[in-house]
Structure 1
Amino acid sequence: MLKILDRYIIRKFLSTFFFMLGIIMLLAMVFDIAERLSDFIEKQASFKAIVFDYYLNFLLYYGNTFSSMIVFIAVIWFTAKMAQDAEIIPMLFSGRPFIRIIRPYMIAATILMLLSLVLNHFVLPRANRVRLDFEESFYRDRLLVENYNAEFPGNELVHYSTYNSEENMINDFVIERYDSQNRLIHFMKARTASVIPGVKRWRLTDVFERKVSYSDTSGTSKGEMESIIQKHQLTENHLKDTTLPYNVDDIAVRDNVVEAMTFRELSSFIAKEKAKGNPSVAMYEIELYQRSSYPFATYVLTLIGVSVSSRKKRGGIGINIAIGLLFVFIYIFAMKITTVAATTVGFPSVAAVWLPNVMFGILALFLYRIAPK
């Protein structure tokens, strides 16, 4: 049963949070409109698409992304205001333990945490799909991939030098296939490659193909030259059409494509990319784990915010806000460090995502212990 104190603090918490969220998202939208307006006009984007396909989903995505930080600032703001107005002192002098005052904060934090979890796992992937489709159509820069290497099932290696989404063309396309004993059995190189729309058929130009067969399992080939086929596969206009078990979307994707995947889709995508040896797997795993770690950071940041701002200070609210912003910057910096460690030196992705929460959780418990009781 919620008491008057609980309802009072929860109402202040949620109202301050949503007010700050609205102000920050409004400013973000204004800056984004100023930057994208010329693209919208040039590509003749409709008003309905801009509002409902882009900005509605834009607000959902970025509002949820920064919700934990906004929670922190909101808690510090209204708690410091209560401390300055001498509302915290009567609560403590009434005989209530400090943890009793913390309870409504955690109830409100739970509401926001559950809301963020639902958005991250069920709503945002579908909303991001619409937003990213709009961006792709009206203003996103061309996709350029360089020096791609991947291993596909069946001991098949794929490499190319560059891919340009504007031309939909791959340059220096190489396929190598090996048998179970890691012996080369097929090598094919094309100057350019492109996918015929709607099917997994590829159009290759200036193809060089080499096939090797072996007479036994010991690795001895049937005569050095007889078993090797070396020729240029040239048809009319130097073209060759062939079927491959993958599409261009399988070997040339934007990093943020994972934002539009549900939990199951993203898990399956990560498994496929691991099998291909994609060096960007750590980034995809971080996206997966952050969908849960970010909402739970709400508890940690709420406890820090209450512990820091519940004491009345000579500098007023400004000192508390400054301390809060310092913690936010340190938290973001810690997340960046662990993310870079995961993507560059092989630090486990799940540890990279949760370690800042653990570190700041320990700090939150320390600040709680020294907070005024």
Structure 2
Amino acid sequence: MLFKIDKYIIRAFIPTFVLCMFAICGIYIVVDAIQKLDDFIEMGSKAFSLSAHYYALMVPVFVAQLFPAITLIAVSLVLVRFAKNNEILAMQVAGINLYRVLLPIFILSVLMSFLAVTNQELLIPRLAEGLVKVEQSTFEEEVKNNILIEDSENRILLRVWTLNVIEGRLESVYVIGKHGNGKKKFTLSAKEGKWMDDNRWLLLNVVRHNYDDSGKWIAPAEQIDEYFLETTLTPEQLSKVDINSTLKSFKELRELCKKEPENPRYSVMFHSRVAYPLTNFVLLFLGIPFVIGFERMSRNIFLRVGISILICCAFFVLSYVCINLGNMGILHPLLAAWLPVVIFGCLGLFLFDGMRI
């Protein structure tokens, strides 16, 4: 009997997962295509073939980025269907507890996680070179966001939220300068900056904090209207920063860490890649209890699904914040990658253990 139930659950889950994968990736492609609509219009008659080639290369990348969300939504839809048809209740009446009902779903999730890792480590790196060429030849972006780059000659780490490549203008600039011993020497935060004719960056509305050789803050902070940043970095160099970790394999990320151990971004990328396979299970432990686990919650099952998705969004928000803090050197790379997994993983296990079985 249990074997038949397992087969029934598997037959319900796999088509739902495939449907969710195509639906979510389709929505992602539509949104991305709308953002690039001007570029497609400029291509004229070549727009369809070039866009088809580009998105064919991007599908594995989308799947890698969205895999945990796809799995959670697919599991939620299957469990909602079972709950509405009272099938879970019937299984429990037959003496099968809820954990046993969920067992085939978790086994399938493990197998699919292996496929996702294979996609990330083997397929995507092989497509990376072609994808980068298509992006560079087809979509020349005037504005680039979220840039982090190290100037080893001047021992500074430069973080730029927005770069206008054409005008040579920066917005939301953060700079960390270091002593020879690697300790923090100073930090600069500026609202904006611009590339001058004498090949220097002029930062405006700057707040500077200074630190001694041991990394301790020296009061007070300095308010500076105009500040010329000593760096060899040009707008062209900033625009060519390769920071897309999704296209790199685990081995490539490890080599980047060894090549530039002082650059926290590569360490954050590496540890995030190690932690990422667990994201799938963290989201399942968080989401499933809200879908079917608690009697006292609203009987509106779709409201439960919405709550589970909101909690999972909170997980991704915390991950984004921690990764950015890690990239700026404020948070240790290990903590930046693992803190969201540990916090929400513990919460998910607590909720999962408290389900009505």
- The normalised TM-score by structure 1 is 0.66
Residues 261-291 of structure 1 deviation map (CA, whole Å, 9 limit, x = unaligned): 33323222232233xx5xxx33333333333
Residue 71 of structure 2: aligned partner: 71
Residue 50 of structure 1: aligned partner: 51
Residue 256 of structure 1: aligned partner: 243
Q: 1:295 and 2:282 equivalent?
A: no
Amino acid at match of 1:334: L
Give the Cα separation in 2 of the matches to 1:147 and 1:82: 47
Give the Cα separation in 1 of the matches to 2:2 and 2:43: 53
Give the Cα separation in 1 of the matches to 2:244 and 2:302: 40
**1:80 CA drift (Å):** 2.1
Residues 89-108 of structure 1 deviation map (CA, whole Å, 9 limit, x = unaligned): 12112222333222111111
Give the Cα separation in 1 of the matches to 2:336 and 2:287: 23
Q: Is the 8 A contact 2:61 2:247 kept in 1?
A: no
Residue 186 of structure 1: aligned partner: none
Q: 1:367 and 2:356 equivalent?
A: no
Give the Cα separation in 1 of the matches to 2:148 and 2:270: 26
Give the Cα separation in 2 of the matches to 1:13 and 1:120: 23
Give the Cα separation in 1 of the matches to 2:85 and 2:350: 26
Give the Cα separation in 2 of the matches to 1:158 and 1:355: 26
Amino acid at match of 1:119: N
**1:110 CA drift (Å):** 0.7
Q: Is the 8 A contact 2:288 2:308 kept in 1?
A: no
**1:315 CA drift (Å):** 3.6
Residues 192-225 of structure 1 deviation map (CA, whole Å, 9 limit, x = unaligned): 7xxxxxxxxxxxxxxxxxxxxxxxxxxxxxxxxx
Residue 141 of structure 1: aligned partner: 141
Amino acid at match of 2:275: S
After TM superposition, list the pairs within 5 Å mapping 1:219-234 onto structure 2.
none
Residue 107 of structure 2: aligned partner: 107
After TM superposition, list the pairs within 5 Å mapping 1:321-336 onto structure 2.
321-336=305-320
Amino acid at match of 1:357: V
Give the Cα separation in 2 of the matches to 1:158 and 1:361: 35
Equivalent position SS for 1:256: coil
Q: CA RMSD in A?
A: 3.7
C-alpha distance 157-292 of structure 1, shift in aligned 2 (>3 A): closer
Residue 26 of structure 1: aligned partner: 26
Give the Cα separation in 2 of the matches to 1:290 and 1:141: 27
Q: 1:151 and 2:169 equivalent?
A: no
C-alpha distance 148-58 of structure 1, shift in aligned 2 (>3 A): closer
Residues 117-153 of structure 1 deviation map (CA, whole Å, 9 limit, x = unaligned): 111222222223322221111113258899976336x
Amino acid at match of 1:341: L
Amino acid at match of 2:52: V
Residue 171 of structure 1: aligned partner: none
Q: 1:129 and 2:129 equivalent?
A: yes
C-alpha distance 96-270 of structure 1, shift in aligned 2 (>3 A): same
Q: 1:271 and 2:258 equivalent?
A: yes
Amino acid at match of 1:344: M
Q: Is the 8 A contact 1:21 1:63 kept in 2?
A: yes
- The normalised TM-score by structure 2 is 0.68
**1:114 CA drift (Å):** 0.8
C-alpha distance 341-256 of structure 1, shift in aligned 2 (>3 A): closer
**1:257 CA drift (Å):** 4.5
Give the Cα separation in 2 of the matches to 1:292 and 1:12: 31
Residue 309 of structure 1: aligned partner: 291
C-alpha distance 123-159 of structure 1, shift in aligned 2 (>3 A): closer
Say which one has the larger Rg: 1
Q: How many residues align?
A: 288
Q: Is the 8 A contact 2:268 2:327 kept in 1?
A: no
Equivalent position SS for 1:119: helix
Residues 217-246 of structure 1 deviation map (CA, whole Å, 9 limit, x = unaligned): xxxxxxxxxxxxxxxxxxxxxxxxxxxxxx
**1:74 CA drift (Å):** 1.9
Give the Cα separation in 2 of the matches to 1:132 and 1:2: 49
Q: Is the 8 A contact 1:300 1:361 kept in 2?
A: yes
Q: Is the 8 A contact 2:323 2:337 kept in 1?
A: yes
Residues 30-68 of structure 1 deviation map (CA, whole Å, 9 limit, x = unaligned): 23223324313425656444323x101222112220110
Greater relative contact order: 1 or 2 (C-alpha under 8 angstroms, separation 6 or more)?
A: 1
Q: Is the 8 A contact 2:271 2:334 kept in 1?
A: yes
Give the Cα separation in 2 of the matches to 1:339 and 1:128: 23
